[in-house]
Amino acid sequence: MLQVTDAAVSVFKELLGPAGAGQAIRIEPVEGPGGETAISFSTVPEPREGDAPSQARDLEIYVAPELAPGLEDAVLDARATEAGPELFLRLAGPEE
């Protein structure tokens, strides 16, 4: 199950703002301009059929079924950059 850090949840909550109360985040694949697969984040009121839940505190985050197996041992995290917050995936460590 994808784990989501508090830092990543904070980024999503900031983007959602007060109007995002009751909304969830869905992580899904999209086709990029060159035909490559990229990951997209969208707001949804509820999960779609087959979506996998993630481990996130204070925010519902769902993973599309076609991505869930590949993110089973991953952590979605965030870090501050000069351009603003950056979300990134990493492998879960033994303590996570």
pLDDT surpasses 70 at 2? yes
- Letter for the amino acid at 42? S
Query: Considering the chain, what is the average pLDDT of its residues?
Result: 91
pLDDT surpasses 80 at 72? yes
Q: Residue 95: what pLDDT?
A: 63
pLDDT level of residue 96 (50, 70, 90 thresholds)? low
Q: Tens digits of per-residue pLDDT, 28-50? A: 999 988 999 889 999 999 999 99
Grouping H, G, I as helix, E, B as strand and the rest as coil, residue 30 is: strand
**Nearest Cα to Cα of residue 4 among 82, 56, 78:** 56
pTM, two decimals, is 0.85
What domains are defined for the chain?
3-91 (2.60.300.12)
Q: Tens digits of per-residue pLDDT, 52-63? A: 999 898 899 999
The CA distance from 90 to 14, in Å, is 22
Q: Residue 92: what pLDDT?
A: 85
Grouping H, G, I as helix, E, B as strand and the rest as coil, residue 41 is: strand
The CA distance from 72 to 74, in Å, is 6
What the block records as the tokens of 30 is 């999209």
Q: How many CA atoms lie within 13 A of 72 on its CB side?
A: 4
